[in-house]
Structure 1
């Protein structure tokens, strides 16, 4: 029994570490697409958030101490929000194609961050190792619950539980508040929303900026909980996997969270698979490729069945 509990605890703990950035970023994409703006630039936003958080962490650890990863996480989110303004202005004001604009974001972020990394770290392609990282966290009282405490609440990922709370909050905001109703109405029928007095452009900006904030936070978690330093390969497809989670979850924050956890499990198995008896015999390359293969399968199977907001990706012109 103890052996089974130990294996489950290892799987859950590792899965939550890898799920946290996906949950945040996929939720960000949900807010953007609910406003009618398709944001394929989540990969680039995560990259800029990861770089910003790494640099902030390394330079302020002597000020914030143990709280540094949390403060750096917020800083990465704010920089991600600023970076997402490029996408907002391009798609909302300049009426650029949403896919093209998002692709530019994805191409710009790696080049910009590598250039800045080399400028700040003596020509090196990566930052220094982050010493104050998101470590393992045990919940007081809850960790003492028999069996469940060992599996879910002992030596686990605090950012993952914050992400789960944010997903629940996002569901409430999108489906139970006036702001959420207006956001959804703009994503479904902006002309009708406009005639009812909703500021369509403001809601679209809000959706994109929230996606930038949450995407930047996702990148900050990757660099401070998984990689430990920033380089051009730090994000490595996490933004695209987050998009898959958003589609798989049908733009519903609770479904999106579940899909992100599913992909988090597949990523974690690539790391801990050799320690699990029934997976130990599989070639390591299969486990490493699993997250990306699953992403493709999910997109192929579900992208036709999942119907996003009707006005998603369409340019809105107020005069029409």
Structure 2
């Protein structure tokens, strides 16, 4: 990174450049190397690791891939060490670590770990990826809601509440009507209700946005818990038996090896997620709506001078963010679980907020971050099945450890929208 500095000398102005080295990514690479090396040294595993690439239901069959556990683990570890040295040299040369290098290191690191974990066992690759995508759906919708809210200048800490009320509303309305699409609309309304309260207090009454978000999360948790016990439990057969979305298989595409069953044999909400990510990413940078949204989040005074109604723009976009997050809540009760349960979102709203930061307030990056966290959660389940010698307590910590490493390590020195969290008072 270079920082321009103006220096006056004898009446002249000279431009000097101050260079900075960024070693955060190489340090994280080094920590991962040490942890993997310690794992391979102090808990060595022998035998053969098997990776199942194909899906038994697929029209195209792929053979299983078998690799020797020990030699393969150390061979990949050596490649990782070379990549870490390369990243160190790049940082020493006053350059930023390329994104492809971080992706390559991450993929190879996961592969090395899976080779070690799968000693004498089997890793179903398609099932692992399918589970990762499924677990990521609420995170993706929550992260998109967070991106839109913060781009508009409002910190959306209430994602957890929007997911939870969306799940409750979807279960209730889908059970009453027997129609999952009505439940989906109800989930969006639930998310909008939470975001309406957030917008009203944060934009109109200028209350601290983080405090409002935290209070809303607690309020929704208590409200849904009360309604669950007072309304759903006594009438479980009629009010907590939602009609769920089934899988929709896309012909030909679903037969593509590995990714076919993962991407093209999914439910309506997953396909809606693909479309929503594409629309938000396109609209944010290619439409008048996106330009105005980014303007009120970066420089509301300038936006006001050109005729943009700052607070109104913020208000309606926070409502839109709540509707999108509510769809993520619908996934819990209309796809994942057959009924609503107390606190069933289990803090995923806060991980979605971390995905927003890790994704640098960009829809595509935030989606990829959410997929990473979903993969870490599903990996925890796989490691339990493979009976690895890692303690079960650490298994439960794995998604959150990945979240901390991602935000603190790979995110680097990033800056959010300049006016995010700051109320705008006209004049």
Q: Secondary structure at the match of 1:5?
A: coil
Contact 2:164–2:343 (Cα < 8 Å) also in 1: no
CA displacement at 1:301 relative to structure 2: 2.9
- Please state if 1:109 is matched with 2:220: yes
User: Aligned residue for 1:4?
Assistant: 53
Change (3 A) 1:266 1:201: same
In 1, distance between residues paired with 2:215 and 2:296?
25
User: Aligned residue for 2:290?
Assistant: 180
- Please state if 1:251 is matched with 2:361: yes
| Contiguous gaps of at least 5 residues in structure 2 | 1-49, 56-123
Contact 2:130–2:261 (Cα < 8 Å) also in 1: no
List aligned pairs for 1:228-307, cutoff 5 A: 228-275=338-385, 277=386, 280-301=388-409, 305-307=413-415
Normalised by the length of structure 2, the TM-score is: 0.67
In 2, distance between residues paired with 1:57 and 1:108?
23
Normalised by the length of structure 1, the TM-score is: 0.89
Larger Rg: 2
Contact 1:185–1:193 (Cα < 8 Å) also in 2: yes
User: Which of 157, 161, 170 lines up with 1:44 in the alignment?
Assistant: 161
Q: RCO greater where, 1 or 2, for CA within 8 Å and sep 6 or more?
A: 1
In 1, distance between residues paired with 2:249 and 2:309?
45
- Please state if 1:161 is matched with 2:161: no
List aligned pairs for 1:9-28, cutoff 5 A: 9-28=126-145
CA displacement at 1:280 relative to structure 2: 4.4
In 1, distance between residues paired with 2:318 and 2:200?
10
Contact 1:118–1:126 (Cα < 8 Å) also in 2: no
CA displacement at 1:107 relative to structure 2: 0.9
Change (3 A) 1:161 1:286: farther
Change (3 A) 1:282 1:162: farther
Contact 1:28–1:210 (Cα < 8 Å) also in 2: yes
In 1, distance between residues paired with 2:54 and 2:411?
36
Q: Deviation per CA, 1:200-224: give whole Å up to 9, x if none.
A: 0111012210111011111111232
In 2, distance between residues paired with 1:146 and 1:18?
21
Change (3 A) 1:164 1:280: farther
Change (3 A) 1:290 1:199: same
Contact 1:5–1:150 (Cα < 8 Å) also in 2: no
Contact 1:40–1:99 (Cα < 8 Å) also in 2: yes
In 2, distance between residues paired with 1:118 and 1:150?
38
Q: How many matched pairs?
A: 310
CA displacement at 1:27 relative to structure 2: 0.2
Name whichever structure is richer in strand by fraction: 2
Q: Deviation per CA, 1:18-63: give whole Å up to 9, x if none.
A: 11111111001100000100111111111111111111122111xx
Alpha-carbon RMSD across the aligned residues, in angstroms, is: 2.4
User: Aligned residue for 2:241?
Assistant: 130
In 2, distance between residues paired with 1:177 and 1:199?
17
| Contiguous gaps of at least 5 residues in structure 1 | none
In 2, distance between residues paired with 1:110 and 1:191?
37
Name whichever structure is richer in helix by fraction: 1
List aligned pairs for 1:55-94, cutoff 5 A: 55-61=172-178, 64=179, 68=180, 70-94=181-205
Change (3 A) 1:273 1:130: farther
